[in-house]
Amino acid sequence: MAKKSDNPKKINGFSMQFLPYSEIQYLNSNERIKKILNIVLGNNILILQGKLKSEEEARLIGDTMAMIGHVQGFKGIELAVIGGNGDYSLMDKLKKGIANILIKGDIGSITIIGPATIVKEIKRNPKKIELLLNK
Amino acid sequence: MEIKVFKNFFKKVFSGIFRNKKEIKLGFYGPPNAGKTSLANRICKDFTGEEIGNVSKIPHETRSVQFKEKVEIKYKGKSMQFKMIDTPGIATKIDYEDFLKYNLSKKEAKTRAKEATQGIVESIKWLDDMDVVVIVLDASENPYNQVNITIIGNLVARKIPVLIVANKIDLRKADVKKIEAAFPEYEVIGISARNGTNLEEFYESVFKLSKKI
């Protein structure tokens, strides 16, 4: 949990929380988003194994926007999905596809979601990812 | 999801029957300050003589969905009628303090932030109602942004044709190739909405995509 200093804008620390895909695998979209937002609202940076469906990502953004102004100090989130779209051979794609069907999700990716008060920016390009934090 | 599939099926059947009477809903989506309204204005001005909305250097100038109906675009002897839908830029965070840099008062900045959050929610809701979507990106910015991927993912899931526009090619930092590399599965057209550069190619792609629906 991030420690709050006397200055409300300054954060002295933060924590990262890993959520394995098995924790959200059987949850419906509402429950998944609720779980994710609970973690992020606790000032944690969430590292989620796998990724949400694109509809769930859009829903997460919408729910986040609805919270700004209603949850004190909350300014939104930073979100990035890494991996899962590399150049795979046909056989690898097939294997990945079968694995995804069996688990009903894509665990070949990692999703990073952090509160905007802590995470300034997640910079991505094909070769690297940088997590820039607020001072 | 099943309801959406049925809805899309009936939409396709009926749009096929009434194709000549219907106007195509052309949405402009993308991150804030990419030039969605500038492009929509340029098209509306060229074909109707009127603009769709205001533009500004301050992000989130468009904070509610704006329309212009019955815009008949004529290109190479062909014409198609569109309902232009300009949407607020989608972001994952809004901080009213960011607007203070643009000399807005604290009250104005807070109001703008509140309206911007509502605009984003509205933009997302409108994703269901588009026929064709133009994703407008700033060619001088890093395209590897999750918001862009999320918007495209949602359009693909709804089987809505997508065209990516790399706007602001007049800027020195503009890099259309970077956008093409980020979205290799999509057609990317480099344009300058401000100068009206390469709009012919843009219209050709819009017509091609609109025929698919």
What pLDDT shows up at residue A107?
A: 74
Question: pTM score, two decimals?
Answer: 0.86
Instruction: Kindly indicate the confidence band of residue B1, based on its pLDDT and cuts at 50, 70 and 90.
Output: low
A58-114 pLDDT, tens digit each: 999 999 999 999 999 999 999 999 876 555 566 666 666 666 666 566 778 899 999
B135-193 pLDDT, tens digit each: 999 999 999 999 999 999 999 999 999 999 999 999 999 999 999 999 999 999 999 99
Shortest Cα–Cα distance, A22 to chain B (Å): 23
Residue A22, token pair as written in the block: 């098995």
What pLDDT shows up at residue B43?
A: 96
The angle at the Cα of B150, spanning B144 to B151, to the nearest 5 degrees, equals 105
What pLDDT shows up at residue A85?
A: 55
> Reduced to 3 states, what is the DSSP secondary structure of residue A62?
helix
The angle at the Cα of B145, spanning B87 to B104, to the nearest 5 degrees, equals 55
d(C-alpha A129, C-alpha A120), whole Å: 13
Q: A76 and B156 in contact by Cβ < 8 A?
A: no
Of A64, A123, A126, the CB nearest to B92: A64
Of B91, B114, B150, the CB nearest to A58: B150
What pLDDT shows up at residue A5?
A: 47
Of A61, A79, A125, the CB nearest to B120: A61
Whether chain A has a CB inside 8 Å of the CB on B151: the answer is yes
On chain A, the residues whose CB falls within 8 A of the CB of B93 are 64, 68, 75-78, 116
Instruction: Return the residue matching tokens 């606790």.
Output: A42
Q: What is the CA radius of gyration of chain A?
A: 16
- CA count, 13 A, side-chain hemisphere, B102: 14
Contact between B167 and B34 (Cβ < 8 Å): yes
The superfamily (CATH) of domain B22-211 is P-loop containing nucleotide triphosphate hydrolases (3.40.50.300)
Residue spans of the domains in chain A: they are 15-133
Shortest Cα–Cα distance, A36 to chain B (Å): 14
d(C-alpha B126, C-alpha B31), whole Å: 15
